[in-house]
Amino acid sequence: MDKVKKFLSDKYDVVVIGAGHAGCEASLACARMGMKTLMLTMSLDSIAMMPCNPSIGGTGKGHLVREIDALGGQMGLITDKAMIQCRMLNTSKGPAVHSLRAQADKRKYHVAMKQVIENEKNLYLKQGEAVEININNDEYEVLTRTGSYYIAKAVIVTTGTYLKGRIYIGEVNYEGGPSGLYPSNQLSDSLKKLGIELKRFKTGTPARVDGNTINYSEMQVHEGDIELIPFSFLTDKVDIEQVPCYLTYTNEETHKIIKANLSRSPMYAGEMESVGPRYCPSIEDKVVRFSDKPKHQIFIEPEGLDTNEVYVQGMSTTLPEEIQIKMYRTMEGLENCEIMRPAYAIEYDCIDPTQLNRNLEMKNFKNLFFAGQVNGSSGYEEAAGQGIIAGINAALNIKGKDSLILDRSEAYIGVLIDDLVTKGTDEPYRMMTSRAEYRLVLRQDNADIRLTQKGYDVGLVDEERYKKYKEKNKNVRQEIERLKNTKLTPKREINEVLEKLGSVPLKTPITLYELLKRTELSYKNILELDKERKKLPKIVIQQVQTEIKYEGYIKKQLKQIEQYKKLENKKIPEDINYNEIKGLRLEARQKLSNIKPDSIGQASRISGVSPADINVLIIYLEQQLRLKKERGEDL
C-alpha cells in the first residue's frame, strides 16, 4: 500500500463510500439535490446487493420503504420493478400496522438500481476500495487502495458489513465480506485514527439451496396477494407474474443434529464475542433457547426468476458445512437438497452511533456522515432510510441550509435515527412498529402526506411526485369534507338499507361522516346510501376511512404529539457546558456531554437522565436566555 503513488483523481461535492442500500439512497439524494457526487464501491457488481433474504418490506420495514419513497427515494420504485411476489401483511388487524412485504428478484433489483444510478445526472460511479479518509483544510480526501484520491466537501460512509469483515462457518473462519466478496480491511483503521469509536457486531445468513433439488409437493404454499399494491406512491400498477414461497418445518431429527454439534458452532464455542441480533437468531440459538418447541418454521423463498437458488429463511447458522448439509436434509421437502452456498455468520466493524447527530453527521466532524449497517442497524430498509437522510443532509450542509431531521412523531425513519443516536444499540437494530410511540399516525398509507412536502422543500421530490401528492391530499380532504356535509335523514328506504347491513336504523338525521364510524359499516358497503360520490383511487378511500373510523384515537395521539413537540422544540445550544450546571447529577452530566442532545426532548430520552435533571436543564436554559437578554440590554 505504501508504495502506491497517490494521485488526485477528481473533486466532488460529496463522496459516498459504499453502494449498498444506504449508499444508493444517499448518492441519489445528493445528486438529485444538485451535488456532484461520487459513489465509490468495491465492486460494481454488488450495487444494491441483497446478501441476505430476497425480500423488501415487512412490518415496520414496509413503512420505512414508503417513507423513503415519499421523500423522493428509490427503494420503493425499484422494488415495484423487481418484485416477484407481494403481500399486504396484518390485514386482519388495524390500518396502522398494515405493511407491505415483497419477494424481490435480487438480480433484477441490482440491475434496476444500477441503471438508475448510472443514468443519474451529477452521479459518478466508480469501482475502488476506500482505504483512508483524511481531513485537509475543511475538505476531505478519500484515498483508494489503487492510489487515486478524491477531494470532497462531504463524505458519507455506508460500508455495511464490509469493515474488517470476518466469515465464520463452523471451525473455519477467514477475512471476507458478505456473499463471497472481499472485506474492507483498512478503512476501519483510518476511522479509528480520526478518533471514531468502533464496535464489533455480527449477523448471519442461511444457506442457499438448489431449487431443483427441493420437493415442494409436501410443503405449504404461500401465494402473493391477488391484487397487488405497489410500494411507491408513483407506481400506479404492478403487473407481474407472481411466484410462490413455501413453508416447511424443522423436526426432532434436525434438533438432534444441531444439539449434537453445538460445540462446533463458533458462537457456542465462544470464538465469537461480537453481538448478534436477537431477531435474527441462528437455528442453533432457537433450538437451545426454545427447547420446548418441537419444530420451527422454515420459509423457502426464491432468490429470483432466472436462478434456481432459493433462500431458506429460518436456518441461519454457524455450524460447519458438513452439519449444515445433514440438518437441512432432515426437513420435509429438503431430503435431497443440494446446498449451493453454505450459511455463514459475518462479523464486522461498525461505529457507536451515539457519535452522530440526528442529521447523521459526526458530532466531531463537520460534513462526515454515516448511514446504514455501519451505524449498528440491520436490514436493507433501515439502511436505505438512513441513507436518504444522510444524503439529504450532506447536500443541505453544503448548500448552507438547515438539516432535515425527522422526529419520532413524523416518521419511522425518525424513530430509527433517534433511537440509534440517542440510546445507541447493543445489537444490530431492527425496526419494529412497537418502537414507534405514535403508530396510529405513522401509517404506510399516509407516508406521502407526512413527508412528501418535506422532500419537496429540500429539493429532492420532483414535480411529478409533488403533483401526485397534492392531488391525493386534496382528494382526501375534499372527500372528508363532503362526507361531513352530506346528511341522511331517517327515511324508510335509508333505514331499510341500514338494517340490511346489520346497522341500527336512524331516528335523527346523521352525516355520512358520523355514520361511517359504525363498526359494521364501511365506505364500500354504504354505496347505496351515497350515490353522489365520485370514483376515487383506493388509497384515497382507505385513508378517508381510516381517518373517520379512528378519529377519536388519532386525535388523542395528535394531542400527545403536541406535548412531545413542545419538548422537541426546546432547543439546547451546541456550546452548552453541562459541567457548569450544578444541579445535574454526575451521571446525567456525563451522558449529556457525550450524546449532546439537540433538544430537551432528545435529552429526556437518554438513559440515565432523570426527570429532575431535565427540569434542572430547563431552568438553566431559561436562566441563560435571560442572561443573554440582560446583556443585550446593557449593550
Partner 1 sequence: MYDDTIAAIATSLGNSGINIIRISGKKSLEIAQKIFIGKKGIKLKKLKQRYLHYGHIIDPENNKVIDEVLLTYMKKPYTYTKEDVVEINCHGGVISSKKILELILNNECRLAERGEFTKRAFLNGRIDLIQAEAVMDIISSKSNKSHEISVNQLEGRLSKEIIKIINEIMGLIANVEVNIDFPEYDEDQVTIEQIKKTSIKIIDKIDNLIRTSETGKIYREGIKTVILGKPNVGKSSLMNFLLNENRAIVTEVPGTTRDTIEEYANIDGIPLRIIDTAGIRETNDKVEKIGVEKALDKLRDSDLIIMVFDASKELEEEDIKIIEYIGNKKSIYLKNKTDLEELLDLSDYPKIEESIIDISIKNNEGLDKIVSKIKDMFMSGVINVENDLIINNMRHKNLLINSRNSLDEVLKSINNHMPVEFLEIDLKNCMENLGEIVGKSVSDDLVDKIFNEFCIGK
Tell me which residues touch partner 1 (CB under 8 A). Answer: 52-53, 59-60, 89-90, 93-97, 206, 277-281, 286, 289-290, 293, 296-297, 299, 313-314, 316, 432-435, 439-440, 519, 550, 553, 557, 563, 581-585, 607, 610-613, 615-616, 618-620, 622-623, 626-627, 630
In angstroms, what is the minimal distance from the CB of 517 to partner 1? 9
Cβ closest to partner 1, residue 111 vs residue 616: 616
Rounded Cα distance between 339 and 309, Å, is 9
Residues 6+ apart with CB under 8 A from 508: 490
Instruction: Select 224 or 277, whichever has its Cβ closest to partner 1.
Output: 277
Give least dist CB 304 to partner 1, A. 18
> Residue 88: beta bridge partners?
100
Q: Which CA distances in Å does 389 have to 96, 121, 524?
A: 23, 20, 38
Pure H helices in 233-272: 252-260
Nearer to partner 1, 336 or 607 (CB): 607
Task: Take residue 51 and report the three cell numbers written for it.
Answer: 446478501
Are 154 and 305 within 8 A, CB to CB? no
333 Rama sector, left if φ>0, alpha if ψ -120 to 50, beta otherwise: left
Distance CA(290)–CA(315), nearest Å, equals 15
CB of 550 to partner 1, least distance (A): 7
Q: Which is nearer to partner 1, 357 or 378 (CB)?
A: 378
* Shortest spacing between CB 562 and partner 1, in angstroms: 9
CB of 459 to partner 1, least distance (A): 34
Own/partner pairs, 602-605, CB within 8 angstroms, 24+ separation: 602/358, 602/418, 602/422, 602/568, 603/572, 604/567, 605/418, 605/422, 605/423
Residue among 401 and 435 whose Cβ is closer to partner 1: 435
Smallest distance, partner 1 to C-beta of residue 309, A: 16
Q: How far is the CB of 613 from partner 1 (least distance, A)?
A: 7
Nearest-angstrom CA–CA distance, 134 and 365: 11
| H-assigned helices in 486-550 | 492-500, 512-515, 538-549
Q: Which three cell numbers stand for residue 268?
A: 457456542
33 or 267, CB closer to partner 1? Answer: 267
| Least separation in angstroms between CB 278 and partner 1 | 4
Closer of 489 and 623 to partner 1 (Cβ): 623
Q: Alpha carbon 427 to chain centroid distance?
A: 15
13, 152 contact by CB (below 8 A): yes
Q: Give CA–CA dist 43/40, Å, rounded.
A: 9
CB of 489 to partner 1, least distance (A): 25
C-beta of 195 vs 573, nearer to partner 1? 573
Closer to partner 1 at the Cβ: 60 or 170? 60
* Grid coordinates given for 61: 420495514
